[in-house]
DNA sequence: CCGCCCGTAGCTGCATACAGCTTGCACCGA
DNA sequence: TCGGTGCAAGCTGTATGCAGCTACGGGCGG
């Protein structure tokens, strides 16, 4: 069972679990437990936790444990506008030119996305969004900008994933439209257009997120089970 | 001698040493050595190194050691345009309003900066720049943007510090002008103006940096001793 | 004299033992 | 019965021992 893994692999797995809400906010993660699962000692797990902590996704409390952070309204309020700006810069800062491979890849994503309209599947939606994100990311020539593109993606992934499930039909439709717009931009080798399409998609999500909170208190108006579950990983 | 310190304190100290070129590029840092200096074990030092590695300021090689990274031309070429964009956003994303305390602080900085014109001192210049940076940073309301403001500052600090010493007179003069412009913006409670003044200052530095490299090879044209010194910290 | 090879020193990465802190529960007294 | 106190379990943070890797240098062969 305990197969050896590298720090990078464990980081990816735990990151995915947090973003996919398999580890919902406030979940207690224990170093020893993950160490056993991945067949390594606590030391590399601590490194994974530190990296996740610097991403703002977990926080350790001495003597207590390491918790998945809550979805903080104030954090999203700050990150989303910046994420939109980053999208606007995609076509601005030395973009890579589009190849037919890129287009083919997105065409295939479009087909799969249309399938979502018939039967929505959260996991499939996640995979498609993931693929689209990294395809676009690969076109960003500026490495620092690409880092931000990824960073803010992961920092906001949980909340859009949670919200996507609220209104599956609308989510699927918007997603197909987003891919179509992206494709138009790619075919024109107009990465600025691609960036603006992304910006608009992010803006729509941000609006949805902000509609979920009480602007005075900053509290979430309704909390689906997946956001509130305070479960231990044992059991 | 070995006084106990926290991880955060050690991180700050080592970060300063790297930015101030007390640890020049390619310096070999040993975990055990720093552990002894700060009176702790290798474990927290490793955490410091990991954080510095994620900032791109050090890199560990198994079996060899942890090195201060070189000043990579390609990295600066990517970071500077982004840093300029960040400066442009300062007045855009929910800035805090300016208080008289802020203005007073910068006024004092201006006085000290004028002293630099008479007698340039690299360390004093560093301190002033540091103070100005954080004063402006404190006016950024968007926490994510402030993180970037700090992050890119530290990632580019070494190179402008190295270049500042090249032409002390010009550096001092530009710096005074920058503070004057900043003060005008602050007094008008116009943080956008402050951001643009910063942007312009960053652009000037970037131009100076780019003039130092061969655009074909990416190699530095002339390497002052402080940039090339490959010394061990022992001795 | 030059080049190859192997041994060794010393570093990082990992595993593990220990210390300190936090929390919850049980027990005791009023 | 209720409140307070102390203890114990379990976690993170730290120290330290160990394994694996790399670089360097001396010695040997050509």
Q: Does position B233 have pLDDT exceeding 60, yes or no?
A: no
Question: Shortest CA distance to A125 belongs to which of A176, A84, A83?
Answer: A176
In chain A, what residues touch B89 (CB-CB under 8 Å)?
82, 85
Looking at chain B, the whole-number percentage of residues with pLDDT higher than 70 is 93
- Contact yes or no for B82 and A144 at CB 8 A: yes
Longest dimension (CA), chain A: 56
**Range B80-84, long-range pairs (CB < 8 A, 24+ positions):** B80/B156, B80/B202, B80/B205, B80/B206, B80/B209, B81/A93, B81/A142, B81/B206, B82/A89, B82/A93, B82/A142, B82/A144, B82/A145, B82/A148, B82/B152, B83/B152, B83/B153, B83/B156, B83/B202, B84/B199, B84/B202, B84/B203, B84/B206
CB B191 within 8 A of CB B203: no
CB B107 within 8 A of CB B179: no
Per-residue pLDDT tens for A26-64? Answer: 999 999 999 999 999 999 999 999 999 999 999 999 999
- Contact yes or no for A78 and B145 at CB 8 A: yes
Q: Under an 8 Å CB criterion, which residues of A touch B? A: 47, 50-51, 54, 74-75, 78-79, 81-82, 85, 89, 93-94, 142-145, 148, 152
pLDDT of residue B234: 36
Specify the nucleotide whose C1' lies closest to residue A64 (CA). Answer: D11
CB A52 within 8 A of CB A11: yes
CB A102 within 8 A of CB A194: no
pLDDT of residue A101: 96
| Euclidean distance between CA atoms A110 and A112, whole angstroms | 5
pLDDT of residue B223: 67
In chain A, what residues touch B81 (CB-CB under 8 Å)?
93, 142
CB A156 within 8 A of CB A76: yes
Q: What is the DSSP letter of B95?
A: P
In chain B, what residues touch A75 (CB-CB under 8 Å)?
143-144
CB A51 within 8 A of CB A15: no
Give residues lining strand C (CB < 7 Å): A 6-7, 40-44, 47, 61-64; B 29-33, 42-43, 46, 49, 60-66
Per-residue pLDDT tens for B22-68? Answer: 999 999 999 999 999 999 999 999 999 999 999 999 999 999 999 99
pLDDT, mean of each 10-residue run, chain A (235 residues): 75 96 94 96 98 98 96 93 98 91 97 93 92 97 97 95 86 95 97 97 94 86 54 36
Task: Quickly list DSSP for B45-85.
Answer: HHHHHHHHHHTTSEEEETTTEEEEPP--HHHHHHHHHHHHH
**Which of the nucleotides in strand D have any atom less than 7 Å away from a protein CB atom?**
10-17, 20-23
Q: Which domains does chain A have, with CATH numbers?
A: 7-71 (1.10.10.10), 73-211 (1.20.120.530)
- Contact yes or no for A82 and B144 at CB 8 A: yes
- Label each residue of B111-180 as H, E or C: HHHHHHHHCCCHHHHHHHHHHHHHHHHCCCCCHHHHHHHHHHHHHHHHHHHHHHCCCHHHHHHHHHHHHH
Read off φ and ψ for residue A38, nearest 5 degrees: -95, 10
pTM of the model: 0.91
pLDDT of residue A94: 80
User: Chains A and B: how many Cβ contacts under 8 Å?
Assistant: 50
Q: Which of A87, A144, A155, A195 to mutate to test the interface with B (most CBs of B within 10 A)?
A: A144
Per-residue pLDDT tens for B122-163? Answer: 889 999 999 999 999 999 999 999 999 999 999 999 998 888
């Amino acid at each position: 069972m305990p197969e050896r893994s590298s720090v990078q692999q464990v980081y990816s797995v735990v990151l995915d679990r947090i973003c996919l809400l398999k580890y919902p906010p406030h979940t207690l993660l224990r170093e020893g437990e993950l160490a056993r699962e991945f067949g390594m000692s606590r030391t590399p797990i601590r490194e994974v936790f530190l990296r996740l902590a610097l991403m703002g996704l977990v926080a350790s409390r001495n003597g207590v444990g390491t918790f998945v952070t809550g979805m903080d309204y104030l954090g999203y309020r700050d990150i989303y506008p910046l994420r939109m700006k980053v999208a606007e810069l995609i076509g601005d800062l030395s973009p890579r030119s589009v190849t037919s491979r890129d287009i083919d890849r997105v065409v295939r994503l479009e087909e799969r996305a249309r399938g979502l309209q018939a039967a929505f599947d959260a996991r499939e939606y996640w995979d498609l969004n993931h693929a689209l994100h990294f395809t676009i990311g690969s076109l960003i020539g500026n490495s620092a900008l690409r880092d931000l593109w990824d960073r803010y993606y992961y920092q906001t992934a949980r909340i859009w994933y949670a919200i996507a499930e609220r209104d599956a039909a609308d989510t699927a439709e918007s997603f197909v439209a987003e891919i179509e717009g992206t494709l138009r931009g790619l075919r024109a080798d107009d990465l600025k257009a691609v960036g603006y399409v992304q910006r608009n998609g992010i803006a729509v999500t941000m609006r949805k997120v902000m509609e979920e909170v009480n602007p005075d208190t900053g509290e979430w108006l309704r909390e689906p089970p997946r956001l509130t579950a305070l479960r231990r990983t044992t059991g």
